[in-house]
Structure 1
């Protein structure tokens, strides 16, 4: 059984391995021991804080295979972005160049540098190791965050965003950055990606063009990459779109990948989730699959398993599931159906 839980200091070697495997373009996990250790420490502090409104907390989770103890994935939630350092995007807009005398009326697409998402909650750092990319594992890694948001809304903003990894080729080269970097930065994509992951964003403010970029002046390769996602990111984007996330014209300033947004209370997994009282007993394997969490904070646990919904707001769980969630009979849990999929169709 795979279970989501908060990261612990002893998970550092696994986090470093994930950072290695994620490759160029996965900005939030740079290959740097100090930064990764700091992320773990910040996460521990965030879970332990008594919060009444969102600040700069960063909640980092891991996906653990309980049969082996192996860490097979990670994901995170940033409570409020852009509070201590600028959070940049390009916004796709249209300007009109017209002359009544000449009979000319041209619509031109432009990219405008902005900080419009400052203060929003960001879901990020989603990575599932290759051998586990099957069944409901991706859904668990993605949707587990929404049950956490549902139980602790005071810790998060009303608007939730996700920056999707932009398109890059088999050599890790971003055609969008290829044009932007060549003309304004004179450093390659891997170097820029690493600097941002290290928290060094000063060069953006220093070198980024302050005026709108006319899209028709970009190379064809750069234009084609705008709002496109990395091939390995497409499944994650589809999951978010099913939750209600939409792309409304904001893109990453490095790889041109889309940023999607949604209102926290409108997310499908939150709207459709229900609080139940746990009963423990025998559960048939062909019962419907549910995403289920223990509603904990520092001891948060979430997984996908077959459960039986009973009358009077009760739900029947197996003893194995109760142990995995660290709950007892009578405890409160939050559940939501997993898109109508059933256990026999997936490996849990």
Structure 2
């Protein structure tokens, strides 16, 4: 069975909505709201329609994981080409302030949370969700890494830094201890209410109400402290995949749930750095090596995992099923990265 990654379409709304209802809250990029999801799909259609030479802009690309045999959507992910700008991108940066009293002969190291917009101008990968019935067979890896091949093939549309925000600690009732102990005290609303409002209306309310002064971590609740930079239990595999690609935690956390922000230099992301361009050979591979294969620009983009072999002349032999799913014929140009 072959699965492909393809650009989103407006008629993906119901499939995306059904997945959004399964996220369990705290998933800002995939709100269970038809109007918000329609706006995302429309923005994605606009982004895919912009020509290759249009350059670096505020684009949202939504990709879909589809069963090539049945046409059913099994997952989705998103790429934001440029964060910040008209709507600031806020983070908390963890800093340390050391003070010393000679009279007391004591040194204190105080951890602080500073509200910043340091990461503006970066690109972001996010919104990754895999249907619970499809969480096997490496489909999560395909979904995640397809974004990097897309970036490699459309490099001029993306920034020099790439980040990924991991969902923080949220309990079964949709409560976030970090929100309750920090930002929630200034907004008069629950985490779920703030998360839904942000997903539907943007984050200007943060700029309006969030205090600008540093917050001393020692002065917040123990539950809130323990949640700082800790990913949600369902996000730990995603964190490991990001680390394998070269992403690292650089002391930035989400202002809502305290989840860690992972950062990498775009050209140093492993899959992007490993991506090669070649042509499809007309022979079947003799080995069983698997690779990530992609072809097509923008609306024609397709990506899949297949059995491949690099031949002596530099072309790539690919199994027939994957080539057919990607609509490739011998002599066509493709991009690939080792599995």
Answer yes or no: same fold by TM over 0.5: yes
Q: Does 1:327 align with 2:307?
A: no
| Map 1:236-315 → 2, pairs under 5 A | 236-283=238-285, 287-315=288-316
The aligned residue for residue 209 of structure 2 is 207
Contact 2:89–2:117, Cα closer than 8 Å, also in 1: yes
Residue-by-residue CA offset, 1:149-180 (whole Å, 9 max, x unaligned): 11111000010000111111222211101212
In the TM superposition, what is the alpha-carbon distance from 1:206 to its structure 2 partner? 2.2
| Rounded Cα–Cα distance in structure 2 between residues aligned with 1:201 and 1:85 | 7
The count of residues paired between Structure 1 and Structure 2 equals 337
Q: Which residue of 1 aligns with 2:23?
A: 22
1:313-333 alpha-carbon deviations (Å, 9 max, x no partner) = 111123322221122210111
In 1, are the aligned partners of 2:87 and 2:202 still within 8 Å (CA)?
no
Task: Name 2:180's counterpart in structure 1.
Answer: 178
CA distance in 2, matches of 1:280, 1:259: 44
Q: Which residues of 2 match residues 1-348 of structure 1 at below 5 A?
A: 1-50=2-51, 51-283=53-285, 287-338=288-339
**Secondary structure of the equivalent of 1:280?**
coil
- The CA deviation string for residues 196-254 of structure 1, in whole angstroms up to 9 with x for no partner, is 11133222122212110100111111101000011111111110100000001000001
Q: Which runs of 5 or more residues in structure 2 are unaligned?
A: none
Over aligned residue pairs, what C-alpha RMSD do you find?
Answer: 1.3
Please report the TM-score for the alignment, with normalisation by the length of structure 1.
0.94
For residues 199 and 281 of structure 1, the distance between their equivalents in structure 2, rounded to whole angstroms, comes to: 52
Contact 2:115 2:214 (8 Å CA) reproduced:
yes
Q: Matched residues in 1 for 2:30 and 2:190: separation?
A: 18
CA contact (8 A) 1:112 1:213 kept: yes
CA distance in 1, matches of 2:241, 2:141: 7
Q: Secondary structure at the match of 1:56?
A: coil
8 Å contact from structure 2 (residues 89, 120) kept in 1? yes
Deviations 1:36-95 (A, max 9, x none): 111111111101112443111100000001121110100010000012201100000001
**Residue pair 1:79, 1:155 contacting (<8 A) in 2 also:** yes
Given that 2:306 and 2:319 are in contact with CA atoms closer than 8 Å, whether structure 1 keeps it comes out as no
With the length of structure 2 as denominator, give the TM-score of the two structures: 0.96
Q: Distance in 2 between matches of 1:255 and 1:177?
A: 6
Secondary structure at 2:164 match in 1: strand
Secondary structure (helix, strand or coil) at the match of 2:5 reads strand
